[in-house]
Homo-oligomer: A and B are copies of this chain.
Amino acid sequence: MATPQQPRRGDTRRRIQDVALELFAERGYEKTSLREIAEHLDVTKAALYYHFKTKEDILISITDDLARPVDELIAWAQSQPRTLATKQEVLRRYSDVLWGAAALFRFMQENQATVRELSIGESFRSKVSALNGLLTESESTLTAQVRSCTALFALHAGMFAMQGIEADPEEKRAAILEVALDLVAQAEAAVTA
């Protein structure tokens, strides 16, 4: 017999992560207090500490879960030939990853100053850097390098910063991806020319 009164069973840990991410993304990491998180969940602050060692730990656990796909993408890309097709596929997949964990990446982008001092900062930076390395040929023109790099940032910015452009979200996402794909294509053209 189910007791729908008691919210859920054993999923408190996940619920904490969900609420925390939501609040972190909305109001920022520092401005989100553990009291707030606890209140949203109708538990005490101490309950959070049963599940996580520190506030930072909550964030780390979220990142570990949600950023894994990026690692997989990097691993996959490293096993592929460094062709334009590969690079474009990286962008396509990265776009999917980004939209699949939009709240986390929004948080990362909007709290860079905070994140930089947290342990997840370094791992985030190194992932973006790795992706960049996969798109860019170091012997190509400076302009070409900037173009590849911009392709990546277009995807990032596209998630939240391009709200000025009014359009169906999926169409907009497709347009952004198209621009990004085009940028790496132009970058590649420069090198092969």
| Copies of this chain, tallied across the complex | 4
* 9 A-B pairs with C-beta separation under 8 A: A25-B113, A27-B117, A28-B114, A28-B117, A142-B167, A143-B175, A146-B178, A149-B157, A150-B150
One of A1-9, A85-93, A104-112 contacting the partner: A104-112
Task: Given A31-B30, A109-B112, A117-B27, decide whether A146 and B165 contact each other with a Cβ distance below 8 A.
Answer: yes
Q: Which residues on A are within 8 Å of B, measured CB to CB?
A: 25, 27-31, 107, 109-114, 116-117, 129, 132-133, 136, 141-143, 145-147, 149-150, 153-154, 157-158, 161-162, 164-165, 167, 171-172, 175-176, 178-179
Of listed A116, A146, A176, residue having the most chain B CB within 10 A = A146
